[in-house]
Amino acid sequence: MLVISIINVKPVDYFYLDHTDVQQEAKLEKRVCLKFELLDQCLWDYIRDRNKQGLPISEVRPILGQLTNALSHLGSVGMVHANLKPGNIMVVNHHESPVKVRLIDLGFACPASAVIPSDCMGTVGYSAPEVMLGLPYNEASDMWSMGLVAVELATGVPLYPVENEYDYLKFIIETRGQPPDHVLDSGVYTDDYFIENNYIQHLFVRLIKEMLALDAHQRIIPSEVLRHPFFNPGLSNRFPCIDIEKPHRINLQKGETKVWIIGSRYIRRGVSDA
The Cα 74–Cα 109 span in angstroms is 9
For CA atoms 26, 32, 34, 35, give the dihedral sign: positive
Q: What pLDDT, on the 0 to 100 scale, is given for residue 181?
A: 83
pLDDT for the residue 150: 96
Q: Give backbone dihedrals phi and psi of 4, rounded to 5 degrees, phi first.
A: -100, 120
Residue-level pLDDT at 248: 40
HSE value, Cβ hemisphere, 13 Å, CA-based, for 145 = 30
Residue type, 61: R
pLDDT along the chain (274 residues), means of 10: 38 40 56 80 95 93 96 94 96 93 93 89 94 94 97 96 92 91 89 76 85 92 88 49 38 40 57 49
Overall pTM > 0.75 = no
HSE toward the beta carbon, residue 169, CA cutoff 13 A: 22
- Which of 169, 148, 174, 144 has the alpha carbon at shortest distance from 159? 148
State which H helix or E strand residue 267 sits in: strand 266-268
CB atoms near residue 75 (< 10 Å): 17
Q: Tell me the torsion sign for CA atoms 68, 70, 76, 78.
A: negative
- Give the pLDDT score at 227: 87
Beta strand residue intervals within 144-193, DSSP E: none
Domains and CATH numbers, the chain: 2-36 (no CATH), 41-179 (1.10.510.10), 197-268 (no CATH)
How many residues does the structure list for the chain?
274
